Amino acid sequence: MATVVVFGGGGFLGRRLVDRLSAESVTVRVAVRHPEPARIALRSLGFDRVTVVYADVRDQGSVAAAIAGADAVVDAVSAYVEKGGVTFEAVHVRGAENVAREAVAAGVARFVLVSGIGADRYSSSPYIRSRGRGEVMVQQAFPSATIVRPGAMFGPGDALFATLAELARLLPVLPLIGGGTRLQPVFVEDVAEAIASILADPGTVGQTYELAGPRVYTLRELVNMTLQLMGKRRLLVAVPFAVAEIQARLFEFLPNPPLTTGQVDLLKVDNVASKTLPGFQDLKIRPKTVEEVLPTYIGPVH
């Protein structure tokens, strides 16, 4: 792949993928709604060969302009909060379809959609349902598309452990939503490596990959692990989902909500690989465990 366009290339996963691809001498075009902040952030990371362009997946014209001349496209755009015209339906369904259709029109050879484990077009959750419907729309528009379903991604700056650590610093008591929910967290760098590998391997065309970490944990276990690394003791108080949903709706009025309704929905069901789809082992990648990575960015608080 000589030129790859990464929609959402300024995001948590997108930045890592851009890093991975540019290290392999691939020309990367980052397509984002806010180019200048992304340009500054990527430049600070030393990504001089990367071009940043404006594109909104809801706008067909900007998508077509961003894709022109590309060999491959990755749609890594996600929305966890619905605000204004940025809805789950607009981004994950219609937006993903827009990108897939324009990729076909431009003669792009490869298309990768980043979805999520548990994506289900029949789910009662608007977020999970939009992920599932987005997959269907992309497969209809671009039949040879590859779907990637990561588990809960972690790494420096994540929305999982970094949020838990921040709450532990601020609060004497930690709310626990769905403490028994099982998760299979995956290191964000491993997901980026997997996508880069998929783009380089014609044998991955048309496949759906579940990218989950090597171990399954309950949310309570992950909270306790975070507290142990921080050297903190906190009382954990179970919060019913109904209460958590109300809290999340209020938090969503904040610029950077610590909890969203989409995240609450994800905590209602186990977020683990089905084991019926290919994964890291098929890409010859050994994913890192939480225990290997977490101590590198969560440590004692003095």
- The rounded distance, in Å, linking the Cα atoms of 212 and 210 is 6
Q: Which of 294, 141, 128 is nearest to 223 (CA)?
A: 294
* Per-residue confidence (pLDDT) for residue 113, from 0 to 100: 98
Measured CA distances, 66 to 52, 70, 104, 274 (Å): 9, 9, 13, 35
When pLDDT is averaged across residues 156-172 and rounded to a whole number, the result is: 90
- The rounded distance, in Å, linking the Cα atoms of 230 and 108 is 47
Sign of CA dihedral 217, 219, 223, 226: positive
Q: Does the domain made of 3-154+186-213+272-287 have the CATH classification 3.40.50.1100?
A: no
- The rounded distance, in Å, linking the Cα atoms of 103 and 46 is 28
Residue 218 main-chain phi, psi, to 5 deg:
-85, 160
Across the chain, what does the average pLDDT equal?
93
pLDDT 10s digits, 33-85: 999 988 887 777 666 678 999 999 999 999 999 999 999 999 999 998 888 88
| Domain boundaries, given as residue ranges, for the chain | 3-154+186-213+272-287
pLDDT 10s digits, 74-107: 999 999 888 888 999 999 999 999 999 999 999 9
Contact 5, 72 (CB under 8 A): yes
**How much of the chain exceeds pLDDT 70, in percent?**
98
